[in-house]
Chain A
Amino acid sequence: MKLDSNCPSGPIETRWERTKFDMKLVNPANKRKYNVIVVGAGLAGASGAASMAELGYNVQCFCHQDSPRRAHSIAAQGGINAAKNYQNDGDSIYRLFYDTVKGGDFRARESNVYRLAQLSVNIIDQCAAQGVPFAREYSGLLANRSFGGAQVSRTFYARGQTGQQLLLGAYQSLERQIGAGRVTMHPRKEMLDLIVIDGRARGIVTRDMVTGKIESHLADAVVLGTGGYGNVFYLSTNAKNSSCTAAWRAHRRGAAFANPCFTQIHPTCIPVSGEYQSKLTLMSESLRNDGRIWVPLHKGDKRPPNQIPEAERDYYLERRYPAFGNLVPRDVASRAAKMACDEGRGVGETGLGVYLDFEAAIQRLGAPAIAERYGNLIEMYNRITGEDPYKEPMRIYPAIHYTMGGLWVDYHLMSTIPGMFCVGEANFSDHGANRLGASALMQGLADGYFVIPFTMGNYLANTKLEKVDGTHAAAREAVERTTSMTKRFLGIQGKRTVDSFHRELGKIVWDHCGMARNDKGLRSALAKIPALREEFWSNVKVLGDNEEVNQSLEKAGRVADYFELAELMCQDALDRKESCGGHFREEWQTPEGEAMRDDEGFAHAAAWEYQGEGKTSIRHTEPLQFEYVHPSQRSYK
């Protein structure tokens, strides 16, 4: 397998401009002759589908939800970065680029990140024109805040519902194209296989989640915007039905999967309360702008927080990182919380929690100002825990939130299967080993609105494609493969529910491939996962039939993929013998407990090639060059 990033060379400021000029165009009258499949209708999928339809392509868009408006992008709270420098505080495209490369701990491609920073500016213009109700000043100008580790105010937001409003903007654009007949929407259809003909992606196989019908859809190109794989941990902040299935099935057909061990743990989530827990709830990290994080100074201090005097509190982030304080990047904040809890200073019944305290901010600004900024988050916290953050500090704990790894793509966002593109969180491209706050929305929309419409045209203009339909042998074979997998699940009739397997798998991955990893733990996970997978395939209990709404059957397919992915994550984590960003190997840390990179050995993306069920995948590498931002140890002190 050859990994050619297709990155342009020359001055970084003009790379995207020159690439666009060099790309071939499709004649406007010919665009409607091309069919493009878009899987997923979140920020990246919906914006890509709508933008390509506006250009004139025939688009088929698929999502597993009942409506494209429900994709999990909707749950993003805090904001979206853009290098507008509206606040005159020294921001620039170069600074956003620099912050993102550094924040990603030097494991992302400079060319991609620079393009992302450039496009950030266009995204805000586009969304404001769509009627996204961004927060504004009394002057009528757009408001900004600083967010998640940034020292400039470049984050645009719509209360605590920025993801919702951006998604609805993309959704409305998509609905406009559906109404105009240029996009055919297929809700409640889950992609279960990729159809590859003559080495090119030509279609997908889906299961209708109401009737059970398994069918093929053929096209000239396929775009996956199917999100991340955080639910491999079972407990995560992802939506319950978010999964890796579409990406994983494409991986099985030959798309390389890059850096699976780069997962992001978000520092501010509501702690777990019991065994029945079905998901974790994120509290926007904007809370860290005004909240102070602390634990008791002494181990085992069980007094209620209000009775612990100031001198016996350890504001550990402010102490360890005086320059950034509570605003250090996510990976640093998460590990520091784990460290405090491992020392026995954790709070709450389980001891797995730290305080996030608004007392000082309420004294400084008054409760109404805090309510205006964080009202909906505080309300949500109160609803879930029954506690009142205006009176006592919140309890928070890190939880898995975002996955930087994903399908390997080149500068054109094309995977190793020609004709299959991958956008948004589903690809691996822009965040390196750690994503900065308010950058996920930016990347999803940059890919969908501003990259894929160009690169898709270039691919189609340069490629001669035979006409194919569902009768093609490869399409029929893919449908049969999917049908027999479905039958296999229904035929096992074992004793354990799908969820019970998923929960057990998630615990293995969290314990050994979570916030901190080591050789011994990873090896033990690599022994446990195949054993559990074997039990799954012989003892899982999926009731009912295929030809009906069958939520257990849907879950079974996804969990089967998590087993394989979990193994690859652990293998990737084991082979990456360094610490970087969200990947923290205990063997590689500085005496102060900070991550220690190995730029000699690991300044590369690791892209895995699938070899078949139960077989070890092959690790390929794409070297990363840093011409502009020179790798240094990240310091937030």
Chain B
Amino acid sequence: MKITLHVWRQKNGNSSGRMARYELPGVSEDMSFLEMLDVLNEGLIEKGEDPVAFEHDCREGICGSCGFMINGVAHGPMPATTVCQLHMRHFKDGDELYLEPWRAKAFPVVKDLMVDRGSLDRIISSGGFISVNTGSPQDANVILVPKQDSDLAMDAAACIGCGACVAACPNASASLFTGAKISHLGLLPQGQPERDRRALNMVRTMNLEEFGSCTNIGECEAVCPKRIPIEMIARMHRDYIKAAWTDRPASTGGGVG
């Protein structure tokens, strides 16, 4: 089948971009979307033109590297599917597709369809962990975790950090990403000691990184390739409000001895 692509081309973060049009005859329906871009790039290189830069790695929908907008939808038209797992059989002969990078102030464009998502790592490093040093834990079965809590924590932990939720949100909010981590750790007994501090610190970092606020629009849940439910944002808000009310300055005498 024949596909026409309009792709955002931008040399680097300091230059301005534009849409470029490419025609691809002979696209096979068994190809993945990224394999179609591989074919486009091979052709461009042969013609001596700069290939389209896009991020990808595992191509199994789990590393979270890939992702861009296809006709205004993050990761394209298939629900719960990253762009690397999207196959051309879901498109029609003659389709015209517009590919653009994630658009958010916190995700500056690096080149073409690649953006810098380092802001998501900084949210995690401000509190998205359980402070356990290597070697200190007791036997894993000493702390029981109810199966339903563990399963729900796993639903939240399935986040791949691709950033589609931010790109889809009209406010460019990272609430679903942050809420997923706060929920994952907050649902487990091991995560309780730091629960308040975690919520306060991660939400603070999210704001400092200039992500927008959540206004419950729900686009994030609709495009999430791992079907993270918007309930995780509600959990984050509950933890944050509770922590904000009860937070006290740390006792300076603690631990000294």
Please name 7 further chain A to chain B contacts, defined as beta carbons within 8 Å, in addition to the given A124-B140, A137-B147, A276-B35, sorted by A numbering: A47-B134, A67-B118, A86-B141, A133-B150, A165-B154, A383-B78, A552-B45
Interchain Cβ contacts under 8 Å between A and B, 30 examples: A67-B117, A67-B118, A69-B161, A74-B58, A86-B141, A128-B140, A129-B190, A131-B130, A131-B153, A131-B191, A133-B150, A133-B188, A139-B144, A161-B62, A165-B157, A173-B129, A175-B124, A175-B128, A239-B57, A281-B60, A380-B60, A383-B85, A386-B89, A449-B135, A450-B135, A495-B46, A541-B45, A549-B12, A549-B53, A551-B51
Whether B35 and A549, one on each chain, are in contact in the complex, defined by CB atoms closer than 8 angstroms, is no
A37 to B187 alpha-carbon distance, docked (Å):
35
Whether, in the assembled complex, B256 has its beta carbon less than 8 Å from a beta carbon of chain A, the answer is no
Measured CB to CB, the nearest residue on chain B to A132 is B157
Q: B129-170 toward A: CB 8 Å interface, digit per residue (1/0)?
A: 111111111111101111100110110011011000000000
A136 to B148 alpha-carbon distance, docked (Å):
9
Residues from chain A with a CB closer than 8 A to the CB of B114 are 549
What range describes how many residues of B lie at the interface?
A: 35 or more
Whether B87 and A549, one on each chain, are in contact in the complex, defined by CB atoms closer than 8 angstroms, is no
Residues from chain A with a CB closer than 8 A to the CB of B103 are none
Whether, in the assembled complex, B185 has its beta carbon less than 8 Å from a beta carbon of chain A, the answer is yes
A541 to B47 alpha-carbon distance, docked (Å):
11
Q: A171-193 toward B: CB 8 Å interface, digit per residue (1/0)?
A: 11101101100000101000000
Q: B35-65 toward A: CB 8 Å interface, digit per residue (1/0)?
A: 1001100100110111101011111111111
Whether B58 and A239, one on each chain, are in contact in the complex, defined by CB atoms closer than 8 angstroms, is yes
Residues from chain A with a CB closer than 8 A to the CB of B207 are none
Q: How far is the CB of B176 from chain A (nearest CB, A)?
A: 16
Whether B135 and A126, one on each chain, are in contact in the complex, defined by CB atoms closer than 8 angstroms, is yes
Q: How far is the CB of A32 from chain B (nearest CB, A)?
A: 16
Measured CB to CB, the nearest residue on chain A to B144 is A140
A179 to B127 alpha-carbon distance, docked (Å):
9
Whether, in the assembled complex, A623 has its beta carbon less than 8 Å from a beta carbon of chain B, the answer is no
Whether, in the assembled complex, B231 has its beta carbon less than 8 Å from a beta carbon of chain A, the answer is no
Whether, in the assembled complex, B97 has its beta carbon less than 8 Å from a beta carbon of chain A, the answer is no
User: Which residues of A are interface residues toward B (Cβ below 8 A)?
Assistant: 47, 50-51, 54, 65-72, 74-75, 84, 86, 122, 124-131, 133-142, 158-159, 161, 164-165, 168, 171-173, 175-176, 178-179, 185, 187, 210, 239-242, 273-274, 276-279, 281-282, 380, 383-384, 386, 449-450, 453, 495, 497, 499-500, 541, 543-544, 548-549, 551-552
Residues from chain A with a CB closer than 8 A to the CB of B12 are 210, 548-549
Whether A158 and B154, one on each chain, are in contact in the complex, defined by CB atoms closer than 8 angstroms, is yes
Partner of A179, one of B38, B56, B125, B188: B125
Residues from chain B with a CB closer than 8 A to the CB of A126 are 132, 134-135, 137
Q: How far is the CB of A151 from chain B (nearest CB, A)?
A: 22
Whether B137 and A128, one on each chain, are in contact in the complex, defined by CB atoms closer than 8 angstroms, is yes
- Find residues 6-58 in chain B having any chain A CB closer than 8 Å to their own CB: 11-12, 28, 30-32, 34-35, 38-39, 42, 45-46, 48-51, 53, 55-58
A131 to B139 alpha-carbon distance, docked (Å):
14
Q: How far is the CB of A321 from chain B (nearest CB, A)?
A: 29
A72 to B87 alpha-carbon distance, docked (Å):
22
Whether B59 and A450, one on each chain, are in contact in the complex, defined by CB atoms closer than 8 angstroms, is no
Partner of B184, one of A133, A273, A278: A133
Main secondary structure of the interface of B (DSSP, over half): loop
A425 to B56 alpha-carbon distance, docked (Å):
22
Whether A548 and B111, one on each chain, are in contact in the complex, defined by CB atoms closer than 8 angstroms, is yes
Residues from chain A with a CB closer than 8 A to the CB of B135 are 51, 122, 126, 449-450
User: Which residues of B are interface residues toward A (Cβ below 8 A)?
Assistant: 11-12, 28, 30-32, 34-35, 38-39, 42, 45-46, 48-51, 53, 55-65, 78, 81, 85, 87, 89, 110-111, 114, 116-118, 120-121, 124-141, 143-147, 150-151, 153-154, 157-158, 160-161, 184-185, 188, 190-191
Whether A66 and B55, one on each chain, are in contact in the complex, defined by CB atoms closer than 8 angstroms, is yes
Residues from chain A with a CB closer than 8 A to the CB of B143 are 128
Residues from chain A with a CB closer than 8 A to the CB of B49 are 543
Residues from chain A with a CB closer than 8 A to the CB of B34 are 278
Q: A66-B118, A187-B118, A240-B57 are in contact. Are A129 and B132 (CB under 8 A)?
A: yes
Partner of B63, one of A74, A86, A187, A281: A74
A522 to B161 alpha-carbon distance, docked (Å):
43
Residues from chain B with a CB closer than 8 A to the CB of A282 are 60
Top 10 A-B residue pairs of the complex, sorted by shortest distance between their CB atoms: A140-B144, A129-B137, A172-B129, A128-B140, A179-B125, A175-B125, A133-B154, A51-B134, A549-B111, A239-B57
Whether B31 and A161, one on each chain, are in contact in the complex, defined by CB atoms closer than 8 angstroms, is no
Residues from chain A with a CB closer than 8 A to the CB of B61 are 380
Partner of B134, one of A72, A139, A453, A549: A453
Residues from chain A with a CB closer than 8 A to the CB of B110 are 210, 549
Most buried by A among B57, B141, B151: B57
Partner of B129, one of A86, A130, A241, A277: A130
Q: How far is the CB of A337 from chain B (nearest CB, A)?
A: 21
Whether A75 and B62, one on each chain, are in contact in the complex, defined by CB atoms closer than 8 angstroms, is yes
Whether B59 and A499, one on each chain, are in contact in the complex, defined by CB atoms closer than 8 angstroms, is no
Residues from chain A with a CB closer than 8 A to the CB of B127 are 179
A136 to B149 alpha-carbon distance, docked (Å):
10
A185 to B138 alpha-carbon distance, docked (Å):
30
Q: A66-B117, A67-B120, A278-B35 are in contact. Are A142 and B65 (CB under 8 A)?
A: no
Residues from chain B with a CB closer than 8 A to the CB of A171 are 124
Q: A67-B117, A130-B132, A133-B153 are in contact. Are A497 and B45 (CB under 8 A)?
A: yes
